[in-house]
Amino acid sequence: MFLAVLFFLILGIVVGVVCGLLPGIHPNLVSVLLISFLVGFTSHIGPDQYYLYVAFIVAVSITNVIVNFIPTVFLSVPGSGIELGVLPGHRMLLRGEGPGAVRLGIIGAFGGVLFSLSLFPLIILTVPKIYALIEPNLHIILSALVLFFIFKDREPMAAASLFFLSGCLGLISEKLPINQDLILFPLLTGLFGLSMLVLSIKKRIKIPPQQNELFISNQTIVDGIVRGSFGGITTGVLPGIGASAAAMLFSSESVEEFLITIGAIAGVNTLFSFLALWLIGKARSGAAATLQYFTSSLTFSDCVFIIFVSLICLSLAVLLTDKISSLVAHLLNRVNYSLLSLVVLLFTLYMVLILTGVWGIALSLVSCIIGIIPNLSRVRRIHLMGALLLPTILFYAGFTF
């Protein structure tokens, strides 16, 4: 049994690396395909097979969120939950600090998971009660936070306009004939990825030689990990708040701390989206939801197993990502970055077409146009998260369209 679990864990890490490097191949998609396969070829899943599946899908999810930082920083193609990391990662890339930007993300993810697990006994006691208190008032809390960020911006009116414009796009996307499990791929890729690629091509950006050194204070690391950990716990448990939305709420002005925070949010959110099945009896990700095919609720032993697998995968994924990042940085110095950006843009659009069809292409192109607006004005890109937050606020306020 141990060797079988180890095999599926390693297989999950390999698949997670592929998912992390290729746009559009999300762990949710992998888990749905695997469940479809299991439903078609077996009528009963025993305890042994259950733990093999858990080891595989947790390994895919954890590894994916770590490796995602490579295309996010080097290619401006964001992974799920770290869309807001594109711009700060790109800034560091243009300073010759691309590998450092990736390292900040994985430091945040690794540190965030360890810190959040140190709080796990407290989380067990408090989260179910806080969840019951907050859920009915979630729309009020989110509305207040959105208003805070709008009025904090240098151009409040322009920020509000961008928030509602992207929010309307998010509402419209829900009505398009696109698989809703995949809808975020063309939507967020257009807003945060394609827009940056278009600008890179237009400006004919040249990438300076990349350095592996990273100079950052311990205080910045600690602050980013703490911010991101609480953000990740929030997104992993509360409904409607994705990792990207939490990055908006728990963000910092420092580019380095921002990347650490996003890494911590993404890592902790991924882990707690599984643990939420035991804490509050509800899944908070597509991958976690597939576990309900095997069992109606997790046991404490299941949680311990998930944590154990997560820590192993996290450690290996951090080492792999750091090595791959250095290799990519070395290769990047030998290619025409504008041409590479064009190839990545076309490949991303191809993946959008394959996964979501013509409507997905249309959505990604409109999203791209809206995503360029912050670069042409003084408004922060963070307000593009209205695409997720406005539909969430209206849903929990009781409005349906």
Residue 296 has what pLDDT?
66
Work out the number of other CB atoms within 10 angstroms of the CB of residue 49. 15
Residue 14 has what pLDDT?
92
The string of pLDDT tens digits covering residues 196-206 is 888 888 877 78
3-state secondary structure of 358: helix
Question: Please, which residues have CB within 8 angstroms of residue 361's CB and are 6 or more apart in sequence?
Answer: 186, 349, 352, 353
Confidence of residue 132 (pLDDT cuts 50, 70, 90): confident
Q: Mean pLDDT throughout 359-383? A: 90
CA-nearest of 158, 344, 145, 166 to 247 is 145
CA-nearest of 115, 59, 97 to 261 is 115
Residue 366 contacts residue 352 (beta carbons within 8 Å): no
- Cα distance between residue 273 and residue 237, in whole Å: 7
Confidence of residue 211 (pLDDT cuts 50, 70, 90): confident
3-state secondary structure of 153: coil
Work out the number of other CB atoms within 10 angstroms of the CB of residue 206. 9
CA-nearest of 86, 92, 323, 321 to 208 is 92
Residue 105 has what pLDDT?
94
Confidence of residue 240 (pLDDT cuts 50, 70, 90): low
pLDDT of 163 > 90? The answer is yes
The string of pLDDT tens digits covering residues 282-294 is 777 777 777 777 7
Residue 215 has what pLDDT?
82
Please tell me the total number of residues recorded for the chain in this structure: 401
Return the exposure string of 250-287: e unless at least 16 CB atoms fall within 10 Å of the residue's CB, then b: bbbeebbbbbbbbbbbbbbbbbbbbbbbbbbeebbbbb
Residue 208 has what pLDDT?
86
H/E stretch holding 168:
helix 156-173
pLDDT of 67 > 90? The answer is yes
Bigger pLDDT: 227 vs 294? 227
Question: Please, which residues have CB within 8 angstroms of residue 155's CB and are 6 or more apart in sequence?
Answer: 377, 378, 379
Question: Please, which residues have CB within 8 angstroms of residue 115's CB and are 6 or more apart in sequence?
Answer: 225, 226, 229, 264
Quote the pTM value.
Answer: 0.86
Rounded to the nearest 10 degrees, the angle between the axes of helix 255-279 and helix 218-237 is 30
User: How many H helices and E strands in the chain?
Assistant: 18, 0
CA-nearest of 56, 4, 87, 25 to 310 is 56
Confidence of residue 229 (pLDDT cuts 50, 70, 90): very high
pLDDT of 62 > 80? The answer is yes
Confidence of residue 248 (pLDDT cuts 50, 70, 90): low
Mean of the per-residue pLDDT values for the chain?
A: 85
Question: Please, which residues have CB within 8 angstroms of residue 279's CB and are 6 or more apart in sequence?
Answer: 123, 124, 127, 128, 131, 237, 272
Q: Mean pLDDT throughout 138-145? A: 86
Query: What burial class does residue 48 get, using C-beta atoms within 10 Å of its C-beta: 0-12 exposed, 13-18 middle, 19+ buried?
Result: exposed
Work out the number of other CB atoms within 10 angstroms of the CB of residue 116. 25
Confidence of residue 47 (pLDDT cuts 50, 70, 90): low
Bigger pLDDT: 18 vs 181? 18
pLDDT of 401 > 80? The answer is no
Confidence of residue 24 (pLDDT cuts 50, 70, 90): low
Confidence of residue 232 (pLDDT cuts 50, 70, 90): confident
Residue 388 has what pLDDT?
86
Q: Where are the domains of the chain?
A: 2-396
Residue 367 has what pLDDT?
95
Residue 52 has what pLDDT?
83
- Cα distance between residue 7 and residue 345, in whole Å: 35
- Cα distance between residue 166 and residue 388, in whole Å: 8
pLDDT of 241 > 70? The answer is no
Please spell the DSSP secondary structure of 325-352, one letter per residue.
HHHHHHHHTTS-HHHHHHHHHHHHHHHH
Give the CA distances from residue 288 to residues 227, 282, 283, 368, in Å, rounded to whole numbers and listed in that order: 24, 9, 6, 30
- Cα distance between residue 109 and residue 325, in whole Å: 16
The string of pLDDT tens digits covering residues 110-130 is 999 999 999 999 988 888 888
Tell me which amino acid residue 120 is.
Answer: F
Please spell the DSSP secondary structure of 371-394, one letter per residue.
HHHHHHSS--GGGGGHHHHHHHHH
Residue 48 has what pLDDT?
63
| Percentage with pLDDT > 70 across the chain | 88
3-state secondary structure of 206: coil
Structure tokens at 352: 């959008």
